[in-house]
Amino acid sequence: MGNLEIKNLKTKIIETNDEIIKGLNLTIKPGEIHVIMGPNGSGKSTLAKTLMGHPKYDVTSGEVMYNKKNILELAPHERAKEGFFLGFQYPEEVPGVTVENFLRISLNAIMEEKIPMLMFKKLLKQKMKLLDMDPNIGQRYLNDGFSGGEKKRTEILQMAILQPKMCILDEIDSGTDIDALKVIAEGINKLITKERSFLIITHYQRILEHIEKIDKVHIMIKGKIVKSGGRELAQKLEDEGYGWITEE
């Protein structure tokens, strides 16, 4: 697997023509876990949605190279087939569609051949056991009546089933209590491999305390990465806020 290389990326909101991402550069190697932190309005979620091809945004400059392809030229479903996955901050409720059916349809959409029903049920059972999830959740409607923690755990289950190579998690820790946070982090830990990379977007250092491996922490302000470091950088933000970095 190749690196994810974001080069001089600039993105605007189509409706307002406001530029949000303003020349962002970032490289993530296979198996690395990177974290982006930043104040509200810095462009973190815009970056996540741009990488997955959200139609609200227009890329005006730059490229995003992965496996020798500029993924910006691919449709969202083609990016998924290349191994991209986006975990949402606010997962949508889908009444009438069970978790099991949703996951089976999603998996078949990215596979060369459709997986037989019995084989999928076995796979789903295995992954639920791996993540210590209630097997009955598969028969519930997707996110319908789910707690915040259940919604986020279901996002982790999607990763376990789809086996993406580039996992983009947009504030997956928002709206969760400390117990749910630990469960989500443990799910991430169980899915870490030498080939699978993560880009975790968060406001808080607390989830990072429970993730076994963090390679780099980046601070994003006004559409650019302005500083990078290790776990200690996240702790400094937790202790001191963003005032010191904006002064620099």
How many domains is the chain built from?
Answer: 1
Task: Give domain status of residue 47, yes or no.
Answer: yes
Task: Give domain status of residue 157, yes or no.
Answer: no
Task: Give domain status of residue 151, yes or no.
Answer: no
Question: Residue 12's domain is classified under what CATH number?
Answer: 3.40.50.300
Task: Give domain status of residue 171, yes or no.
Answer: yes
In the prediction, which pLDDT does 14 show?
Answer: 96
Position 248 pLDDT exceeds 80: no
Q: How many other β-carbons are positioned within 10 Å of the β-carbon of residue 230?
A: 12
In the prediction, which pLDDT does 243 show?
Answer: 81
Q: How many other β-carbons are positioned within 10 Å of the β-carbon of residue 226?
A: 15
Task: Give domain status of residue 58, yes or no.
Answer: yes
Residues contacting residue 64 through CB under 8 Å, at least 6 positions apart = 4, 5, 6, 7, 9, 51, 70, 71, 72
In the prediction, which pLDDT does 1 show?
Answer: 61
Question: What mean pLDDT value characterizes the chain?
Answer: 92
Task: Give domain status of residue 133, yes or no.
Answer: no
Task: Give domain status of residue 18, yes or no.
Answer: yes
Q: State the amino acid at position 248 in one-letter form.
A: E
* Residue 153 φ/ψ, nearest 5 degrees: -65, -35
pLDDT in tens, 85-94: 999 888 889 9
206 and 189 Cβ atoms separated by less than 8 Å? no
**Cα–Cα distance list, 144 to 137, 166, 179 (Å):** 11, 27, 21
More confident of the two residues 221 and 2: 221
Q: Which residue has the tokens 């409607």?
A: 141
Residues contacting residue 178 through CB under 8 Å, at least 6 positions apart = 206
Domain housing 13: 4-91+165-247
